[in-house]
Structure 1
Amino acid sequence: MAKQPRGANRPPTDGLPKTEPLTPSQMHQNAAAKRMLRRLVQSESPPTAPLSIVDRLAGSPYANPMIQVGGVDTSARKTMDFALHLAESMFRYGAGSLEVETSIIAVTAALGLKNIEVDITNQSVGINYAPKDQTPIALLRVVRSWTNNYAGLAKVHQLVTDIVAGGVGRDEAIRRLDEIIRSPKPFPRWMVTVAFAVFSAVFVGVIGGGPGASAVAFASNILISLLARKLGRWRTPDFFVTAACSFVVTVIALLMWKFGSPVGFRLAPAIVVVGGILLLLPTGRLVSSVQDAINGFPVTAAGRFLSTLLTFGAVVAGIAVAFVVGDRIGMAPIDVTETFPPAYPLWIQVIMVAVAVVAIGITEQTDWKLLLPTAAVGVVGHLVLIGSDLLGAGARFSPALAAVVIGLLARVVALKMGAPQLVVAVPAGLILLPGLTIFRSMYVLTIEESEILLGAGGMLSAGAIVFGVAGGIVLGDTLARPLTRSLASNERRRARRR
Structure 2
Amino acid sequence: MTDRPGDRRKPHTGGLPKTEPLSPSQLRQNAAAKHMLRRLVQGENPPTAPMSIVDRLAGSPYANPMIQVGGVDTSARKTMDFALHLAESMFRYGAGALEVETSIIAVTAALGLKNIEVDITNQSVVINYAPKDQTPISLLRVVRSWTNNYAGLAKVHQLVTDIVAGGVGRDEAIRRLEEAITSPKPFPRWMVTVAFGVFSAAYVGVLGGGPGASAIAFGSNILISLLARQLGRWRVPDFFTTASCSFVVTFLALVLWQFGVTAAPAIVVVGGILLLLPTGRLVSSVQDAINGFPVTAAGRFLSTMLTFGALVAGIAVAFVAGALTGMQPIDITKTFPPAYDLWFVVILIAIAVMAIGITEQTAWKLLLPTAGVGVVGYLVLLGAGAMGIGDRFSPALAAVVIGLLARVLALKMGAPQLVVAVPAALILLPGLTIFRSMYVLTIEESEILLGAGGMLRAAAIVLGAAGGIVLGDTLARPLTRSLASNERRRARRR
TM range (shorter): over 0.9
* Partner Cα distance (1:156, 1:186) in 2: 15
User: What residue in structure 2 maps to residue 459 of structure 1?
Assistant: 455
> 1:430-482 CA deviation, whole Å, 9 max, x = no partner?
00000001110111111111111111111111111111111111111111112
Cα distance change of structure 1 residues 20 and 344 upon mapping to structure 2, 3 Å threshold: closer
* Partner Cα distance (1:19, 1:88) in 2: 70
* Partner Cα distance (1:62, 1:373) in 2: 23
User: What residue in structure 1 maps to residue 160 of structure 2?
Assistant: 160
- Percent identical: 83
Are 2:299 and 1:308 equivalent residues in the alignment?
no
Which of 200-209 and 234-243 deviates more?
A: 234-243
Are 2:131 and 1:131 equivalent residues in the alignment?
yes
Correspondent of 2:484 among 463, 469, 488: 488
* Partner Cα distance (2:4, 2:344) in 1: 116
Cα distance change of structure 1 residues 235 and 2 upon mapping to structure 2, 3 Å threshold: closer
Are 2:430 and 1:434 equivalent residues in the alignment?
yes
AA aligned opposite 1:399: P
> 1:360-382 CA deviation, whole Å, 9 max, x = no partner?
00000001111111111111110
* Partner Cα distance (2:457, 2:71) in 1: 56
Deviation at 1:233, TM superposition (A): 1.1
Asked if the contact 2:72/2:111 (under 8 Å) is kept, the reply is no
Task: Tell me the secondary structure at the aligned position of residue 392 of structure 1.
Answer: coil
* Partner Cα distance (1:494, 1:27) in 2: 53
User: What residue in structure 1 maps to residue 278 of structure 2?
Assistant: 282
User: What residue in structure 2 maps to residue 61 of structure 1?
Assistant: 61
Task: Tell me the secondary structure at the aligned position of residue 483 of structure 1.
Answer: helix
TM-score normalised over the length of structure 2: 0.95
User: What residue in structure 2 maps to residue 214 of structure 1?
Assistant: 214
User: What residue in structure 2 maps to residue 181 of structure 1?
Assistant: 181
> 1:233-287 CA deviation, whole Å, 9 max, x = no partner?
11111111111111111111101110112xxx2x210000000000000000010
AA aligned opposite 2:437: S
User: What residue in structure 2 maps to residue 374 of structure 1?
Assistant: 370
AA aligned opposite 1:101: E
Cα distance change of structure 1 residues 10 and 139 upon mapping to structure 2, 3 Å threshold: same
Task: Tell me the secondary structure at the aligned position of residue 465 of structure 1.
Answer: helix
* Partner Cα distance (1:142, 1:224) in 2: 31
> 1:9-37 CA deviation, whole Å, 9 max, x = no partner?
5999xx999879758xx887776565445
* Partner Cα distance (2:291, 2:369) in 1: 27
Deviation at 1:393, TM superposition (A): 1.1
* Partner Cα distance (2:77, 2:433) in 1: 52
* Partner Cα distance (2:351, 2:150) in 1: 18
Are 2:398 and 1:402 equivalent residues in the alignment?
yes
TM-score normalised over the length of structure 1: 0.94
* Partner Cα distance (1:117, 1:77) in 2: 14
User: What residue in structure 2 maps to residue 468 of structure 1?
Assistant: 464
AA aligned opposite 2:291: N
* Partner Cα distance (1:312, 1:146) in 2: 18
User: What residue in structure 1 maps to residue 97 of structure 2?
Assistant: 97
Are 2:446 and 1:450 equivalent residues in the alignment?
yes
AA aligned opposite 1:251: F
AA aligned opposite 1:456: A
Task: Tell me the secondary structure at the aligned position of residue 140 of structure 2.
Answer: strand
User: What residue in structure 1 maps to residue 88 of structure 2?
Assistant: 88
Deviation at 1:98, TM superposition (A): 0.5
Deviation at 1:231, TM superposition (A): 1.1
Cα distance change of structure 1 residues 489 and 321 upon mapping to structure 2, 3 Å threshold: same
Asked if the contact 2:62/2:164 (under 8 Å) is kept, the reply is yes
Unaligned runs of 5+ in 2: none
User: What residue in structure 1 maps to residue 201 of structure 2?
Assistant: 201
Unaligned runs of 5+ in 1: none
User: What residue in structure 2 maps to residue 293 of structure 1?
Assistant: 289
Q: How does 1:235-246 map to 2 (within 5 A)?
A: 235-246=235-246
* Partner Cα distance (1:10, 1:311) in 2: 89
User: What residue in structure 2 maps to residue 340 of structure 1?
Assistant: 336
Which of 387-396 and 272-281 deviates more?
A: 387-396
Deviation at 1:184, TM superposition (A): 0.4
Count of equivalent residues: 489
* Partner Cα distance (2:328, 2:19) in 1: 104
AA aligned opposite 1:354: A
Asked if the contact 2:374/2:402 (under 8 Å) is kept, the reply is yes
* Partner Cα distance (1:143, 1:159) in 2: 20
Correspondent of 1:322 among 305, 318, 321: 318
User: What residue in structure 2 maps to residue 46 of structure 1?
Assistant: 46
> 1:172-194 CA deviation, whole Å, 9 max, x = no partner?
00000000011000111111111
* Partner Cα distance (1:279, 1:305) in 2: 18
Task: Tell me the secondary structure at the aligned position of residue 117 of structure 1.
Answer: strand
Task: Tell me the secondary structure at the aligned position of residue 74 of structure 1.
Answer: helix
Structure 1 runs of 4+ aligned residues shifted over 2 Å read 1-5, 7-12, 15-23, 26-42
* Partner Cα distance (1:410, 1:251) in 2: 37
Which of 85-94 and 411-420 deviates more?
A: 411-420
* Partner Cα distance (2:23, 2:238) in 1: 84
User: What residue in structure 1 maps to residue 78 of structure 2?
Assistant: 78
* Partner Cα distance (2:386, 2:280) in 1: 28
